[in-house]
Structures are given as structure tokens and as C-alpha cells.
């Protein structure tokens, strides 16, 4: 694999450059960090390998890291999420080696992961823990070269915590996802909007009046349910956690098991982080014409393989819409092959939320290098103060003012004698 990267078509760079600029307009917090990094050079001499969705927003993170003095290498964290023009521009206009082609197969996907690890990074960034997983299995020899690794998404954090529990984790990791300024915004408002955006682009179906089933009521599910409702859908939520299920009921949604929801839903989306949440039996139970999508990180949430195996026939009726005809003649429509609908059929989260997520990523890299040698093998999270600072910068950039505690108020919160 060429060290300059592997992209679909380098001549797409011009469009990608504009797209990166456009996204950058909506990322003021990251831009402030980039400016400081350019001056302070905190990442000087570091090699960073990032396995993230190759989008215009990610490109802006790469620019910030490079501005900070790092050598940066990028590969895709999902075979369908790459924006080929952005990848081209990163290589051509910014000399950031990028290994990502939209629609790449699993073999190429892993070749790209290995290509960035071949650069012997000191810091890695993951969106789904694939680099970390590779480092702990096939490339253990490189573990000692790693200062730390940061993780973007819920699914990746679940994997990392499972590794910790198994005592399999060998490097310090930073759970970017656990920052309030990440999961409360990116997962909720980002996933909410971009998932619907992807479904509308793929199908052009009316959401109003539809029975819309959301599997999972974590931050992503909450955001998605809220937005589907906001577009006029009747929202049904499925959950395995009783507290989340109860919250969904109180938020005005209908809660039921998937086996029951399957029979009445028009559109289904999984955002759980688990597998076979929509099984083939569920698909069998669905109405003729039901639409199925996944917005969870991995394409294991919907039993796609079983559907492919059991369906009588299959055709692409629209881009990202696969029509499966079952043996009884009824149809199910699977979007984007069950992969992340928001990154496949649309453009992923809007830059406005990635601004904060990637501010966290950039600060995580700085955290690693600042604390090099003092770090434990565990999952780190952001400090409350830094988290609040990111939000403060965001509000400032948005022109929103808010209150400050008076001294009297500050003192009152710290006292306990004053009562009724």
C-alpha cells in the first residue's frame, strides 16, 4: 500500500476541499484548538493513526492534529462511510495519507487498518475499537509503542470495558464518548438528525403518520425517538433496560417487545450496540413493505445475512434501498445493507456536533502526551472542568450568554447550616 494513502479518485479533491471548508465553518471550537495547537506544537514528533469515519468533519480534526505537530495517518472505521472527495483532498491538498474508499470490502478494510498501523503510531484513535483490537491480537508487538488510544463511540467503549474486565487491555485508553460534550450532543442530536436524514434521502418516504420503531433508548435512541416524533411519527421504543424503558414510556412513547412491535411498525431503526436486535423472525412478522435500517456502529444489529439467505429474491430499487421478497411474496426494504444509515445514505453527523466530539479527541491526544509515563492501563475520561470548558467555548461561538454564580450563591452551595 502506498504511504501516501489509498483513495478512490484523487481528482475528486477540489470538491472535497470545499466540503472540508464548509464543515470547518461549523466547527469553531475545534478551530480554536487548532489555532492554539499551531502555536504551541503540543503534538510535535508524534505519529497518530486514526481509524474514523472519513468525512469532512474528521478532515478538520486531522488538520488540527497536524497543526499541533503530529504526523497523521487516517483510515476508515466503516466500509460505507467514506466521503471519497474528502479522502482525495486530504491526500492531495493537505498531504495527510488517507486509506479509505467508499464501498471497500472487508479485506481492503483491514488492509487499510494495517496500513496506518504500519506507520508505527504512538497514539491511535478509534471509532469502534478496531485499531485497539488489532493491536491486542495480531499486532501485539506494537503495543509498547503506544502512549494511548482514544475511542469515539459507545460500542467501542463497551468493547474496551469488556477488555478491561477480561484483563486483556494493555494500554491507556480515553473514552471520548463518555464526555458529556460528546455523548449528550453527538449521540443524541447528531444521530437523531442524521439517521432521519439518511432514511429520507434513501426512501423519500413521509415520516408523519408512520409507526416508527426505535430499538434502544440510550443517548442515540433518545435523540432518534425525539426527532422521529418531531417529524410526526408514532414512535415505539424497544428496550432491555427497565429504567430506560420506563423513561421512554414517561417521555410519551409506546414501549413493547420487538416481537410485538414488528407486527405494527412501518419503519425500524436499531441503535443498541448489540446483535440480532432485529432477527429474521422479527422480519417475518413485519408488514409487507416494512423498512429496516441500522444506525448502530456495527452492522450486526439486523440479521442481514439470514435475510439474504431466506429471501426468495432481491433487487436494488433505489440507491441504498434493497428490496427483499420473502417466500410469501411480501417485501421488506433494507437500507444501506444494514450499515450505519446516517453515514451511508447521508453525510453523518452535522459538523456542529462533531465540533465538540473532535475537540474532545484533540484534547485527548494532548492529554496522552502531557501525561506520558504517568498513565495507568485503564479507561480515562475527561475532567468535569475540561468538559464544561468545551461547552463554554461552543456557547460563546454560538453567541449564547449564560449566568455565573454570584459569590453568595457559590457560598450557599457549599454550606449546609442554612435550612428551612
273 binds a second copy (CB under 8 A): yes
Closest to a second copy by CB, 118 or 247:
247
> 340, 298, 353: which is closest to 199 by C-alpha?
340
C-alpha to C-alpha distance for 324 and 342, rounded to whole angstroms: 21
List the one residue from 2, 14, 162, 377 that touches a second copy (CB under 8 A).
Answer: 162
List the one residue from 4, 32, 114, 276 that touches a second copy (CB under 8 A).
Answer: 276
Closest to a second copy by CB, 71 or 201:
201
Task: List all residues 6 or more positions away from 328 whose beta carbon is below 8 Å from its beta carbon.
Answer: none
Rule CB under 8 A: which of 343-402 touch a second copy?
346-347, 349-353, 387-389, 391-392, 394-395, 398, 400-402
20 binds a second copy (CB under 8 A): no
Backbone angles phi, psi at 185, to 5 degrees: -115, -60
The count of residues in the chain is 420
275 binds a second copy (CB under 8 A): yes
Shortest CB 222 distance to a second copy, Å: 11
CA atoms within 13 A on the CB side of 33: 31
C-alpha to C-alpha distance for 148 and 175, rounded to whole angstroms: 11
C-alpha to C-alpha distance for 147 and 170, rounded to whole angstroms: 11
- State how far the alpha carbon of 205 is from the alpha carbons of 197, 212, 272, in Å: 11, 12, 24
Angle 84-92/13-25 helices, nearest 10 degrees? 100
Number of residues counted as binding a second copy (CB under 8 A): 115
List the one residue from 33, 176, 300, 304 that touches a second copy (CB under 8 A).
Answer: 300
298 binds a second copy (CB under 8 A): yes
Q: Which stretch binds a second copy (CB under 8 A): 64-72, 158-166, 360-368, 371-379?
A: 158-166
> How would you class 69 by CB atoms within 10 Å of its CB: exposed for 0-12, middle for 13-18, buried for 19 or more?
middle
Shortest CB 349 distance to a second copy, Å: 8
Shortest CB 373 distance to a second copy, Å: 26
Rule CB under 8 A: which of 112-141 touch a second copy?
128-130, 133, 137
Closest to a second copy by CB, 26 or 59:
26
Task: List all residues 6 or more positions away from 35 whose beta carbon is below 8 Å from its beta carbon.
Answer: 67
List the one residue from 3, 44, 289, 305 that touches a second copy (CB under 8 A).
Answer: 289
Closest to a second copy by CB, 45 or 257:
257
Rule CB under 8 A: which of 175-234 touch a second copy?
180-181, 184-185, 188-190, 192-193, 197, 200-201, 204-209, 226-227, 229-234
Tell me the three state secondary structure of residue 348: coil
103 binds a second copy (CB under 8 A): no
Closest to a second copy by CB, 61 or 70:
61
Query: What is the radius of gyration, based on Cα positions, of the chain?
Result: 22
Shortest CB 154 distance to a second copy, Å: 11
- State how far the alpha carbon of 162 is from the alpha carbons of 90, 155, 275, in Å: 34, 11, 16
- Sheet of 234-238: strand order equals 254-255, 234-238, 211-215, 267-270, 290-294, 331-335, 321-325, 313-318
32 binds a second copy (CB under 8 A): no
409 binds a second copy (CB under 8 A): yes
Rule CB under 8 A: which of 72-101 touch a second copy?
77-79
Closest to a second copy by CB, 327 or 409:
409
Amino acid at each position: 500500500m502506498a504511504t501516501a494513502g489509498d483513495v478512490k479518485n484523487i481528482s475528486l479533491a477540489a470538491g472535497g476541499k470545499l466540503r472540508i471548508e464548509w464543515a470547518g465553518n461549523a466547527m469553531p471550537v475545534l478551530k480554536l484548538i487548532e489555532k492554539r495547537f499551531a502555536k504551541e506544537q503540543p503534538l510535535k514528533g508524534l505519529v497518530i493513526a486514526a481509524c474514523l469515519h472519513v468525512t469532512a468533519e474528521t478532515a478538520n480534526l486531522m488538520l488540527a492534529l497536524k497543526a499541533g505537530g503530529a504526523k497523521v495517518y487516517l483510515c476508515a472505521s466503516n466500509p460505507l462511510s467514506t466521503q471519497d472527495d474528502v479522502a482525495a483532498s486530504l491526500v492531495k491538498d493537505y498531504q495527510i495519507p488517507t486509506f479509505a474508499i467508499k464501498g471497500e470490502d472487508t479485506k481492503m478494510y483491514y488492509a487499510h487498518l494495517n496500513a496506518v498501523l504500519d506507520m508505527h503510531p504512538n497514539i491511535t484513535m478509534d471509532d469502534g475499537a478496531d485499531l485497539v483490537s488489532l493491536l491486542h491480537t495480531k499486532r501485539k508487538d506494537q503495543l509498547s509503542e503506544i502512549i494511548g488510544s482514544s475511542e469515539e463511540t459507545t460500542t467501542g467503549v463497551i468493547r474496551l470495558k469488556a477488555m478491561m474486565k477480561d484483563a486483556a487491555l494493555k494500554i491507556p485508553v480515553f473514552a471520548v464518548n463518555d464526555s458529556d460534550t460528546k455523548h449528550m450532543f453527538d449521540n443524541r442530536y447528531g444521530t437523531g438528525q442524521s439517521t432521519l436524514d439518511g432514511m429520507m434521502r434513501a426512501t423519500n418516504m413521509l415520516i408523519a403518520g408512520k409507526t416508527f420503531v426505535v430499538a434502544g433508548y440510550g443517548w442515540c435512541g433518545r435523540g432518534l425517538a425525539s426527532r422521529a416524533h418531531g417529524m410526526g411519527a408514532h414512535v415505539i421504543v424497544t428496550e432491555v433496560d427497565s429504567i430506560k424503558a420506563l423513561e421512554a414510556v414517561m417521555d410519551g412513547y409506546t414501549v413493547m417487545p420487538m416481537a410485538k412491535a414488528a407486527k405494527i411498525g412501518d419503519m425500524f431503526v436499531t441503535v443498541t450496540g448489540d446483535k440480532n436486535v432485529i432477527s429474521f423472525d422479527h422480519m417475518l412478522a413485519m408488514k409487507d413493505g416494512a423498512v429496516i435500517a441500522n444506525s448502530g456502529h456495527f452492522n450486526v444489529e439486523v440479521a442481514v445475512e439470514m435475510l439474504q439467505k431466506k429471501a426468495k429474491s432481491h433487487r436494488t430499487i433505489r440507491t441504498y434501498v434493497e428490496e427483499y421478497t420473502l417466500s410469501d411474496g411480501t417485501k421488506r426494504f433494507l437500507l444501506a445493507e444494514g450499515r450505519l444509515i446516517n453515514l451511508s445514505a447521508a453525510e453523518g453527523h452535522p459538523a456542529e456536533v462533531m465540533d465538540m466530539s473532535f475537540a474532545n479527541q484533540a484534547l485527548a491526544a494532548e492529554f496522552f502526551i502531557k501525561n506520558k509515563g504517568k498513565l495507568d492501563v485503564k479507561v480515562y475520561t475527561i475532567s468535569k472542568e475540561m468538559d464544561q470548558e468545551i461547552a463554554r467555548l461552543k456557547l460563546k461561538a454560538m453567541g449564547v450568554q449564560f449566568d455565573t454564580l454570584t459569590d453568595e450563591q457559590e457560598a450557599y452551595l457549599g454550606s449546609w447550616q442554612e435550612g428551612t
